[in-house]
Chains A and B, each alone.
Chain A
Amino acid sequence: MNKGPIFRFRLYIAGDTHNSAQANANLAALCRTYLPGRHKIDVVNVLQEPGRALAEGVFMTPTLVKLAPLPAQKIVGTLSQTQTVLQTLGLEAVTA
C-alpha cells in the first residue's frame, strides 16, 4: 500500500465557509483511505492571500490542485463525489 509516488496537493479555500470546510474534510478522508503516508497537503486561504488566488487563477473555491505526480490536475468543488475525484487523480486503478 505504501508503494508509489507521493501525491502533493494544494487546496485553495475561502476561509471557513461551508464548502471549504467540507472540501478540507473530504480531502483528508480520501488521503487517509487511499494515500496513507504518501501525501502532502498545502492549504491556501484566498481570503488571507488574495494575491495568490489572482496570480494562480483560482476563482472558484474550493479548488484542489494536484501538483505531483504529473500531469497537474485541478478539481473544483467540495470533492463530495469521491468516485470522480479518484478517477481524476488516477487512483481508481490502485484501489481496484
Chain B
Amino acid sequence: MKSSNRLSANAARKAPTGIIGFDEISGGGLPRGRTTLLVGGPGSGKTIFALQFLVNGAEQQKEAGIFVAFEESPQRVIANHQSFGWDFKTLLRGKLSFVDAQPNPDLVQSGTFDLGGMLAALGAKVREMGARRIVFDALDIVLALLPDLAARRREIYRLHAWLLEQGLTAIITTKAGGEEAGSIGQQPFGFMQFMVDCVVMLNHRVAQGVSQRNLRVQKYRGSSFDENEAPFIISPAGFEVAIARTPRLTKVRASHERVTSGVKRLDTMLGGGYYRGAAVLITGLPGTAKTTMSGTFAEAACKRGERTLYVSFDSDSDEMIRNLASVGIRLDRHVKSGVLRLISARSITGSAESLLVRIKALAAEHKARCLVIDPVSALAKSGNELTAHGVAERLIDWSKANGITMICTSLLDSMSAQVSNVGESLHISTLADTWIHLNYLIQAGERNRGMSIIKSRGTSHSNQVRELILSDAGVTLADIYTAGGEVLMGTMRWEKERAERFASELSEVAAKLKQVTLDAEEAVLEVRAKSLQTELVAKRAEKTLLARSTVNRKGRLSRGNTRIRELRGADTVKRGRK
C-alpha cells in the first residue's frame, strides 16, 4: 500500500514529457505544477522540446496545453513542426492551442508596461480549455522590451506567481548567447534560473565541422537527476535524448540459437557460429577482407530468408555487389527480392548520434534481423571522437534489445597497430561478443591474410590462426603450418602441402613395395611348407611300408620253420622247456 502511495506521489510530482530519454534523466519528467526554464542558443531545439512536451502531454497524459508564441506566428510554428508527424488537426480541437503573442513590429512604446493583460487573457484560455500545461516560447523577446532590469524582474515574478497560482506545468524558453551555457548567469534573464524549479540547458556545438547537440539538466528542485550532459538529436519523431542504458534492456533474453558466419570452417572454430543477437566485431587493416567476411554473413542470412540491412560507409551499393560477386558472394538477387537492403552511407555526414538514429530508423523500416555496419569506425569520423564510444555502446545495446545479430567491422588506421590496441578508439572491443581479427602476414615476398578469433563469449573457440583464402568460389579457411616457430602461409604453405603430398605418395609406394615383397616371401614359404608336407607324407608311407615288410618277413620265417618241421616230421621243440 505504502509503496504504491509513494509511486503515485512521485507520478503526481512529475509531468512526463514523453520525450525519449528525457524522462529517464529527470526521473519521470518535469516538475508538475512548477516552472521549468529551457535555455539554449539559436537552433538548439528549444521550441521542438517545448512543443513536444505539449503534444505528448495532450496525447499521452490527456493534459491540454497552451503554446504562447512570442517569436513566431502559430501558423509558422505548426508548419515548422509538421514533419514530426504530430496530429495538429486533431490536437487543435481543444487539446492544444496556440496564442500569438508576438509584439507588433510597429509597436510604439512609451513608458513601462506589464504582462497583466497577457496573464488575464491566458487565464481565460486556461479556464476555457482546462489546460494543465503551458509553454512560453522565447519569453526573452517580450522581456527585452521592458525598459530596465527591475521591470524585467518584476514581470518574471508576476509570471511565476501566476503560474504557481494556476498550478500549471510550464516551460519557459529563453535564448542563451554564446556557446557556453554556463554564461547565462550573467545574462539579463539569468536570475530566472534561481526562481524556477528546474533548469534544462540545450547546447549546439560544432566540433570539427560536425554538429553535436547536448542536453543537461542543471537544476531540479527536490529531485535527483542525471547531472551529465547527454547528447540528443532531432529525429524524424522529434526530440530524442540519448542515454546509454534503457531499462527495457534488462528484459532481453540471451538466445542460444546459432547463426552461421557464412564460412563453414569459421563456424566450426566458433563451435557452431555466432549467437543470434550477438554483436560481432571484425577488425583488421585495410584490405584484410573485412567487407568480404561481412558479405558472407549477409549472404548466408539472406539465404535463410532473414531480412538484412547492410550499411556501408565505404562504397556504393553497386560497387559492393560487383566486388563481392568477384569472390562468389552473390548479393544482387537478394537485393532484388528485397530481403537485403544495401545502404551506402558514404555521403551521410552528421554527428554519430544522428547516424545512429538513421541506422535505427532504417533497420526498423526494413524489419532487419541481421545488421552489418561496415565499418563502425566511421562513427568516429571527424568531430565525433568524443561521442562515438557512447553511440557504439548504444548501437550494441539497441541491437541486442531487438535481437538483431550485428556485424561491425572496424578499420585500423595505422599499419603498425598491434592487436592490443585494436578497436581501442571506440572501446567497442569490450562490448562485442565475438571479436575476429584479420591481419596480414608478410613472408617470403608474399602478403597473406590470417584470421584469428580473439574472443567469443559463451562459445568454445579455436585458438588457431587460419589462413583466409578468397577465391571466386568464396571464402575458405585453410590450416596454416607451423614449422620451427614460423607460420607458413600462401605459397609457402602450398609448397609445404605439396612436399607433404609427395612424401606421402612416396611412402605409399614404399609400403606397396613392401607388401609385394612380403607376399612373395609368404608364397615361397607356403610352397616350401607344401613340399615338406609332401615329403612328410612320403616318409610316412615309407615307414608304413617298412613296418609291413618286417611283419611279412617274420611270418614267412615262422611258416618256413613249420614247413621244415613238417617235412622232417620232427617234434615241435618246446623251447621253453629246455
Contact = CB atoms under 8 A, between A and B. Distances in A.
Interface of A: 12, 14-15, 17, 19-20, 22-23, 26, 46-47, 50-51, 53-54, 57-63, 73-81, 84-85, 88
A73 B121 contact: no
Contacts of B556: none
B268 to A, nearest CB: 75
Given A19-B112, A19-B114, A60-B115, A76 B107 contact: yes
Which 7 interchain pairs have the tightest Cβ spacing? A14-B116, A78-B111, A50-B124, A80-B111, A59-B118, A61-B117, A77-B111
Given A74-B108, A76-B109, A76-B145, 6 more contacts: A14-B116, A17-B114, A53-B118, A60-B142, A61-B116, A74-B106
Given A59-B115, A61-B115, A79 B110 contact: yes
A61 B145 CA distance: 13
Of the four ranges (under 10, 10 to 19, 20 to 34, 35 or more), the interface on chain B belongs to 20 to 34
- Majority secondary structure, B binding face: mixed
A63 to B, nearest CB: 7
B113 A77 contact: yes
A84 B108 CA distance: 8
A26 B104 CA distance: 23
B419 interface: no
B115 A54 contact: no
Interface string B101-133: 101101111111111111011111100000000
Contacts of B125: 54
Contact of B124 (A14, A51, A80): A51
Contact of A17 (B107, B116, B124): B116
B469 interface: no
Nearest to A52: B121
A47 B410 CA distance: 66
Given A54-B125, A57-B100, A58-B121, A47 B111 contact: no
B117 A59 contact: yes
B321 interface: no
B120 A60 contact: no
Given A54-B124, A59-B101, A74-B104, A14 B117 contact: yes
A61 B122 CA distance: 13
Contacts of A79: 110-111
A57 B69 CA distance: 12
A84 B110 contact: yes
B78 interface: no
Nearest to A15: B116
Contacts of B108: 73-76, 84-85, 88
B129 to A, nearest CB: 12
A66 to B, nearest CB: 10
Contacts of A50: 120-121, 123-124
Given A50-B124, A51-B124, A57-B100, A77 B110 contact: yes
B91 interface: no
A47 B122 CA distance: 11
25 contacts: A12-B117, A14-B114, A17-B116, A19-B114, A46-B117, A50-B120, A50-B121, A53-B121, A54-B121, A54-B122, A54-B124, A60-B103, A60-B115, A60-B142, A62-B117, A74-B107, A75-B109, A76-B145, A77-B111, A78-B110, A78-B111, A80-B111, A80-B112, A85-B110, A88-B110
Contacts of A61: 113-118, 120
B153 to A, nearest CB: 15
Contacts of B109: 75-77, 84
B87 to A, nearest CB: 25
B178 to A, nearest CB: 28
B99 interface: yes
Contacts of A81: 110-111
Contacts of A58: 117, 121
Given A50-B121, A53-B121, A74-B108, A19 B113 contact: yes
B244 to A, nearest CB: 43
Contacts of B117: 12, 14, 46, 53, 58-63
Interface string B121-155: 11111000000000000000010010000000000
Most chain A CB within 10 A, of B100, B107, B118, is at: B118
